[in-house]
Amino acid sequence: MSNWKSCENCGDTEDCWYGLDDYPFEGDCSAWTPMRCRCGGILSTPREHNGKKYRHCYACHFEFFEEDGQ
């Protein structure tokens, strides 16, 4: 499984059952979609700078910092 196509970077988690003990994600999810920015652009996988995690939008280049512990 690549780092990009993972549960951590999926924009369709509302009704997802992957990651549960009975349904481990194995990189072959037909419902997987990339996380999207408010502008509609695709967000990067989590990155880290000075100990803070963030995602970068490839379209508008805005950076979204994640809350501590996420």
Which residues, other chains included, contact 66 with Cβ-Cβ below 8 Å and sequence gap of 6+? 46, 52, 53, 54, 55
Q: What is the residue whose two structure tokens read 């509302």?
A: 14
pLDDT tens string 7-51: 777 777 676 766 666 666 666 677 778 888 999 999 888 899 898
Give the predicted TM-score (pTM) of the model: 0.62
- Residue 3 zone, left/alpha/beta (φ > 0; ψ -120 to 50; rest): alpha
pLDDT at 13: 67
What pLDDT, on a 0 to 100 scale, did the predictor assign at position 6? 73
Q: For position 23, what pLDDT does the model report?
A: 63
Confidence of residue 68 (pLDDT cuts 50, 70, 90): very low
Cα–Cα dist 40/68, whole Å: 25
> For residue 10, what are the β-bridge partners?
34
